Amino acid sequence: MKKIVISTGGGDAPGLNAVIHAVVKSSYLRGWEVYGSRSGYKGLLDTDELVRLTPEMVAEITPTGGTILGSTNKGNPFAMPVQNMAGEYQIVDVSDRVMKNFTRRGFDCHIAVGGDGSLEIAQRFAAEKGMPVIGVPKTIDNDLEATQLTFGFDTAVSTATEALDKLHSTAKSHDRVLVVEVMGRDSGWIALNSGISGGADVILLPEIPFDMAKVCAKINDNEAYDKHYAIVVVAEGATAIGADKVCKDGGEIGRQEECLGGIGEWVAKEIRQRTEKDTRSLVLGHLQRGGTPTTFDRLLALRFGGAAVRLVAEGKFGQMVALEGNGMIAVPLEQVIGRRKKVPMDCDKILTAREIGICLGD
C-alpha cells in the first residue's frame, strides 16, 4: 500500500477539487491511501491539519469551485512568517519540520498542485530534502511554459467574457468608456482571450507597453462610426511606455510575489483627462477565480489528477504532469519553474485582434 499526501497552494482556481477527486479515486482503486494537507503545507507542519481523504468525501466535489483543502500564497516552508512573543514577524525556515513529518507519517509521495511559486517550493523539497514529489500545474493565468494549458484558465476567461458582454449595454446607454482590469500577472492570456471574445475596443497586455495617445485615438475614432462608448480591457500587469507596473500599497508578510492592482483606474483617469469622456473603471478581481469550473476545466483537471497518480505508480518523481497536444506528458520540475509563458506577438490571436480593429496600444 502507498500513502500519498496532496496539497493545493497559491491562489485558488476552478478545477482544484476535480484534481483532488481524480487523485483520491485513482489511488483507492489501486488500494492506496490519500491524505490532504490543509492550506498548502500547513498539514505537514501541524499533522492535526492532515485529513484522510476517502472516495465518499470527494464523490460530489468535481463541479465545486475553490478547494476543500484550502490554499495560501503565504505558506512557503523555506521562508515562513512566524510571530514571536513580542508580536513581531520573523521569516523562518521550517522545511526540516515538514520533511520530518512527511517521513514520520510514512508518505510515499507528495502531489503538489500549484502555480510557479508552489511548484518551485515542491522542486526545492525534491532537490534539497529528497522528497518524492509530483507536480500538477494550476493557474488561471495560463502562464506555465511547460504545459499547453492550465486548468482554471478557461473558467476565468469565460467569467471575464460574460462580464464584458454585460458591460456593453450599460456603456452604450450612457455613452461611457468602461475600463475593465483582469488578472494574469505578467502574461496577457486572460485579457487577450476575453477581450477579443467580448468585443473590446482596446486590449492592453503586459507584453506590449502601451501608448495612451494611441489608446485615446482609438476611443475618439469610435465617434466617426457613430459609436459613442468604448470597452477597454487591461491586464493587471500591463504598463504604459516608460512606466513601472502599478501595485497596491504595502506588501503582505510572507507573500512571494508583488501584489498587482490599480492599472485599470490609472488608465481610466488618463482617458477621462485626455478625451473628456465619462470614464469608469472596474476590477473583476477574484470573480475570475471563483465559481463552478467549465466542462473543459473539469475534464482537464481530472486528466491531470489521473496522470499524476500514474506517475506515482511508475515511480517517476520530480516531475510535473503537462498537457501536450491531446495527451499527458511528464516534465522535470526544474524545467518548469521560473519560465513564464508570454503571449507571442506573432500568434494568431494577436493577428486576429489587429485585423478586426482592436487597438493593442502600440
pTM of the model: 0.93
Catalytic residue among 46, 93, 116, 141: 141
Parse the chain into domains and list their residue ranges: 3-151+293-335, 156-290
- Active site annotation includes 141: yes
Would you give the distance in Å from CA 60 to the centre of its chain? 24
Q: For domain 3-151+293-335, which architecture applies?
A: 3-Layer(aba) Sandwich (3.40)
Phi, psi of 80 (to 5 degrees): -90, 130
CATH topology match: 3-151+293-335 vs 156-290: yes
Q: At what angle do helices 295-314 and 153-173 cross, to 10 degrees?
A: 160
User: What string of pLDDT tens digits covers the 362 residues of the chain?
Assistant: 799 999 999 889 999 999 999 999 999 999 999 999 999 999 999 888 899 999 999 999 999 999 999 998 888 999 988 878 777 888 899 999 999 999 999 999 999 999 999 999 999 999 999 999 999 999 999 999 899 999 999 999 999 999 999 999 999 999 999 999 999 989 999 999 999 999 999 999 999 999 999 999 999 999 889 999 999 999 999 999 998 888 876 555 555 567 888 999 999 999 999 999 999 999 999 999 999 999 999 999 999 999 999 999 999 999 999 999 999 999 999 999 888 899 999 999 999 999 999 999 99
Domain 156-290: homologous superfamily in CATH: Phosphofructokinase domain (3.40.50.460)
Amino acid at 264: G
- Starting at the edge strand found earlier in the chain, the sheet holding 230-235 runs 202-204, 230-235, 177-182, 279-283
What Rg value do the Cα atoms of the chain yield, rounded?
22
pLDDT of residue 248: 79
Give the 3-state DSSP-derived string for 17-40, with helices as H, strands as E and coil as C.
HHHHHHHHHHHHHCCCEEEEECCC
